Structure 1
Amino acid sequence: MIEILNATELVRARGAGALVGTILQTMRERSVVGTNLLDIDRWTKAMIVDAGAESCYVDYAPSFGRGPFGHYICTAVNDAVLHGMPHDYRLADGDLLTLDLAVSLDGIAADSAISFVVGDSRPAESVALIDTTERALRAGIAVARPGARIGDISDAIGTVLSADGYPINVEFGGHGIGSTMHQDPHVPNTGRPGRGYKLRPGLLLALEPWVMSDTDELVTDADGWTLRSVTGCRTAHSEHTIAITEDGAEILTLPRPA
């Protein structure tokens, strides 16, 4: 299903996006050395509930997972990159943490992810991974406009990832979003320009470049959810939900101004 939102629905989408961005910013500020991943999940739940919103994750049970996810935010550390299930782990200096969050507010969902290094250490490999995914995300957003095609976004993202020497996994990528978290069209992180669905005003897309430093293969943890690099290498993931407008793209998942 591909949804095209009207003006009223777009206003609600902005509210959902701002909530997601604000929660992620708050959790980033609270994620210091010694913070427990389960505390991040608990704090996220509280902010979602206080806002009158709903988690897109807690009851999420797709075919590739093992039953309902059961948590409110994905917390992926170091070699984990997608669907990181919160567990009893305290963050250490130099950990590369990815937080991925999707929330529904007033019937519209928004989805975003950030990667950052915890503490004072700045491992060069981790910094490079994060920088690449953030630049790839900006490149994808820059070409998203009415009349462009999904392949144009995929090509823009993939060009940045490949130029920096990272293998690209196409099993998981970006997606349409609206009244539900995951919708068509699928947005691979590499592709051919001029191909695929033509973008229209009112379309919401969650763009999410992610990479692993030396592989494109994933392995699933015993929890049935957390996806890690098969080699144990570090990973990073950046994501925004955008709305296609009459003259380009609007980023919805920025935090509310202080």
Structure 2
Amino acid sequence: MAEEAGFESLWVGDHIALPAGEGNPPRLEAMVALTYLAAVTSRVRLGVGLIVLPQRQPVLLAKQVSSLDVLSGGRLTVAVGAGYVEPELHAMGVSLAERGARTDEYLAAMRALWEEAPSFDGRFVSFSGVVQHPSPVQRPHPPIVVGGHSAAAYRRAVRHGNGWYGWGLDPGETGQTLRVLGETARAERRPADLGELEITITPPGPPDLDTVRRYADVGVDRLIIELEGIDDDAVDGVIESVGEIAGHGVS
């Protein structure tokens, strides 16, 4: 249904162990869910966002990402973040204070593996004399989207990301944030080989056609609609709306 309606991509979120007693809904592990989606789709892109990178072992995650990119025929996008839920990070052996440094280093280590570098020597992860095959279909690797609303996240997106992902922002808030991202890009001198930063936003609720156009006007490339908490009838309405939006030339 998503492919027929004109959805550009299907996304799953990532949390492994959330605090007890907060009414958290059931959640499948992200990489397992994406493997299933890769098997039952053929055209729509697949995304994970945001994967909480510091609580993942980067050598294993690099292999999982490569495998999913191969199985899906090069349809994978990976959005990463540093995380913020301290009990979850602690349960995975990561301190809140280290999460930013781990995120940056893990990204570098994964890139080294995808580019078939034989060694990497970091503070948190190191390896030598190893390679991973097969390589991702998308070269040098699937698109990396960096999420977060902090100055550190903006710098990370500019330095290392193909895109940036913002959560729960209306068009006005998005425009303000994109101005800050632009200032960060000028200060950090974004690498030319990364191209223009692709902008992804999850709006506060399912948007209508006029709202979609307002997002497009401020520079948004992709909207991810959150379906959690929406009943089946409303989901059908969202799918119909996406078909209408696509029919008006907005993708």
Same fold (TM over 0.5): no
Structure with max Cα Rg: 2
Query: Greater helix share, 1 or 2?
Result: 2
Structure of greater relative contact order (alpha carbons < 8 Å, 6+ residues apart):
1
| TM superposition score normalised by structure 2 | 0.31
What TM-score results when the alignment is normalised by the length of structure 1?
0.30
Q: Which has the higher strand share?
A: 1
